[in-house]
Homo-oligomer: A and B are copies of this chain.
Amino acid sequence: MEFQTLPNRQDIVTVSHNIRPFIHRTPILTSENLNTVTDAFLYFKCENFQKAGAFKSRGATNAVFSLKKQELIKGVCTHSSGNHAAALSRAAGLRNAKAYIVMPENSSRVKIAAVKHYGGKITFCKPNLKSREDTLKEVIEKTGAIEIHPYNDYRIIAGQATAAQELIEDIKDLDIILAPVGGGGLLSGTALAAKYFAPNIQVMAAEPAGADDAYRSFYEGRFIPSNNPNTIADGLLTSMGTLTYPIIQQYVSDILRVSENSIVTAMKLIWERMKIIVEPSSAVPFAAILENHDIFAGKRTGIIISGGNVDLQKLPWN
């Protein structure tokens, strides 16, 4: 399934059907304890339990399975320091195709190991966008692999939309769905899912104050790229894309910025009280709830827990 235009309702239903054999329908957890802390009713859609440890498996799987067998002969490629790299490697492996991954040389040990585990072939580059793009270009010239962008691709957006679609199916009468925003693949997919399957739900985003390009774009009404972002939420450093930004601008109702302290507090609370491992980026929505009591008090709020890939040797509270 390939889209040149905005995925419609039926597209997302079809994608959901297509990727189902290859991904988990992740559980939705609740915590009386965290409900009490926030005075809200929280429903955590646990994509940290997803294949390869993050929602990224949804989009990557859809993108890879959208390609014809012949298109896969030369493999797929991307530049990514994070979860998309592992998810794409895994998805390519499911179709016996090669995945070429350009990773910054300072990528985390754990993320590098995950890409290797799934059979991705890594080319290291310098940790800046120019080196990433130049190196990817070289890889493409050498291999002929097809690029799968981490978020600025309707097949990816439609795949990520299936997380919110499942949440909406499983939990009735949500008031709000809250997702983190980095490049905007998850957020734009979440916004489309709500628009098509439960238009009364408000979709809100949470973003680190230290990487607030989405917030600034949203409130200035024009696309502003990320500028020296600095946050522990390493999945949220990227700028939005030309495809994700307009969806977010149109269908998201607010973007809440959170402090680094709140992110660490939120992450630790989720680990301690829920006994699940979430990565810093995943804790950003819950941090927004902690910082904005009055918005969420009494509200049935769905939270997309985006992933659980953490270096256990480098925890922010140690």
> Which residues of chain A have a CB within 8 Å of any CB of chain B?
27, 48-49, 53, 268, 271-272, 274-278, 308, 312-313, 315, 317-318
Contact = CB atoms under 8 A, between A and B. Distances in A.
B318 A313 contact: yes
6 contacts: A27-B27, A49-B274, A275-B276, A275-B277, A313-B318, A315-B315
6 residue pairs, one from A and one from B, having the closest CB atoms:
A275-B308, A275-B277, A48-B275, A318-B318, A49-B275, A276-B276
A317 B27 CA distance: 29
A271 B313 CA distance: 12
A278 B274 CA distance: 11
B277 A271 contact: yes
Contacts of A277: 271, 275-277
What DSSP secondary structure best describes chain A's contact surface?
A: loop
Contact of A271 (B268, B272, B312): B312
A53 B273 CA distance: 8
A316 to B, nearest CB: 10
Contacts of A312: 268, 271-272, 315, 317
Contacts of A272: 312
A313 B308 contact: no
Nearest to A32: B51
A21 to B, nearest CB: 13
A308 B48 CA distance: 17
Contacts of A315: 312, 315, 318
Contacts of A27: 27
A313 B268 CA distance: 10
Contacts of A317: 312-313
